[in-house]
């Protein structure tokens, strides 16, 4: 069977991959670059590789996220190794990186910490964009810490990751970023495949999803220098509540930023 025939086959089409998902499968399973995929369309594929792709397609059609099947996810141009014990980094979260990056580019920020780092996506993207900065990260999950350390090593990015319950045991920074769990347990909008495959501790929080955000807002001032900035990702319907909580606690210059779809996604603020 040629690559073109394989991709046209009923067993692959059942997975309903987008063009970019199909390219990802071919590059991860066949080891072919995009150009090679085009040039190899009529090349016969070994039977065991055909079976491997059928297996990926079958699991994918059953709802398992492709990133977990392949063990890989791309974030801000970085190839991250992941598994089902860490959240799959979302393109939406690149908004958090953009907001942090703009602040760093304005000058004066050297010390950055990423809380709730998961696979390390945000911390590693910031370090890749701003190699002159000292970037550290942490997560409550031991497994996430191991994953973030693995990704930092694989990408040759100097970002330490430690295990910590939010700010517990951490020092003082100029900029803190966080994409904490913020989904309410009864949120009807959450995709069933997300709930059944991604780790609950990465997704859900008490108090309508705001409990971790509230703790971060309370604890962050002790871990920021004068004028230090906190950037938080939150649900697109939570911006008003996050701004209210922050303003009531005395945070300054509270501003919400939108993702590429125009939804309120990141709120940044200055230490009270």
Positions touching ligand SAM (CB under 6 A) are: 86-87, 89, 93, 115-119, 121-122, 139-141, 144, 165-166, 179-181, 201-202, 212
Name the residue nearer to ligand SAM (CB basis): 65 or 181.
181
Taking the complex as a whole, how short is the minimal distance between the CB of residue 57 and ligand SAM, in angstroms? 26
Q: CB-wise, 56 or 183, nearer to ligand SAM?
A: 183
The least distance separating ligand SAM from the CB of residue 18, rounded to whole angstroms, comes to 20
Provide, rounded to whole angstroms, the least separation between the CB of residue 173 and ligand SAM. 15
C-beta of 17 vs 167, nearer to ligand SAM: 167
78 vs 116 by CB, closer to ligand SAM: 116
First to last CA, the chain: 64
Q: Give the single-character DSSP code of 87.
A: P
Residue with the shortest CB distance to ligand SAM: 118
Computed from CA positions of residues 233, 237, 239, 242, in that sequence, does the dihedral angle turn out positive or negative? Answer: negative
Minimum distance between the CB of residue 231 and ligand SAM, rounded to whole angstroms? Answer: 12
**Is the Cβ–Cβ distance between 63 and 176 less than 8 Å?**
no
In whole angstroms, the minimum distance from the beta carbon of 124 to ligand SAM comes to 10
Instruction: Choose among 128, 123, 140: nearest CA to 215.
Output: 140
Nearer to ligand SAM, 14 or 194 (CB): 194
Determine how many CB atoms are found less than 10 A away from the CB of residue 181: 20
Q: How far apart are CA 146 and CA 38, in angstroms?
A: 36
Nearer to ligand SAM, 49 or 164 (CB): 164
Q: Name the strand (E) or helix (H) holding 81.
A: strand 78-81
Q: What's the CA dihedral at 200, 150, 97, 232 to 10 degrees?
A: 40
Q: Both tokens of residue 171?
A: 């020092």
Provide the phi-psi class of 241: left if phi over 0, else alpha when psi is between -120 and 50, else beta: alpha
Cβ proximity to ligand SAM, 6 vs 124, nearer residue: 124
Distance CA 222, CA 261 (A): 34
- The nearest distance, CB 63 to ligand SAM, in angstroms, is 20
User: How far is Cα 162 from Cα 136, in angstroms, rounded to an integer?
Assistant: 8
Least distance in Å: CB of 251 to ligand SAM?
20
């Amino acid at each position: 069977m040629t690559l073109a025939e394989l991709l046209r086959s009923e067993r692959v089409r059942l997975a309903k991959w987008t063009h970019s998902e199909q390219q990802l499968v071919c590059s991860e399973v066949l080891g072919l670059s995009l150009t090679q995929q085009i040039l190899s369309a009529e090349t016969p594929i070994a039977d065991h590789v055909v079976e491997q792709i059928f297996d990926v397609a079958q699991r994918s059609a059953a709802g398992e996220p492709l990133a977990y099947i392949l063990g890989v996810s791309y974030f801000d141009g970085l190839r991250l190794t992941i598994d089902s014990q860490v959240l799959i980094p979302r393109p939406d979260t690149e908004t958090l990186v953009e907001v942090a990056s703009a602040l760093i580019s304005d000058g004066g920020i050297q010390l950055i910490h990423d809380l709730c780092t998961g696979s390390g996506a945000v911390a590693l993207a910031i370090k890749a964009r701003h190699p002159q900065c000292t970037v550290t990260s942490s997560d409550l999950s031991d497994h996430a810490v191991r994953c973030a350390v693995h990704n930092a090593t694989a990408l040759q990015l100097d970002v330490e990751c430690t295990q910590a319950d939010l700010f517990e045991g951490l020092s003082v920074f100029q900029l803190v970023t966080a994409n904490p769990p913020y989904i309410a347990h009864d949120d009807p909008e959450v995709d069933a495949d997300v709930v059944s495959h991604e780790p609950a501790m990465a997704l859900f929080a008490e108090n309508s999803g705001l409990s971790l955000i509230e703790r971060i807002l309370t604890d962050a001032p002790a871990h920021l220098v004068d004028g230090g900035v906190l950037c938080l990702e939150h649900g697109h319907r939570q911006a008003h509540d996050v701004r209210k909580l922050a303003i009531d606690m005395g945070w300054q210059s509270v501003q919400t930023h939108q993702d590429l779809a125009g939804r309120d996604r990141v709120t940044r603020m200055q230490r009270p």
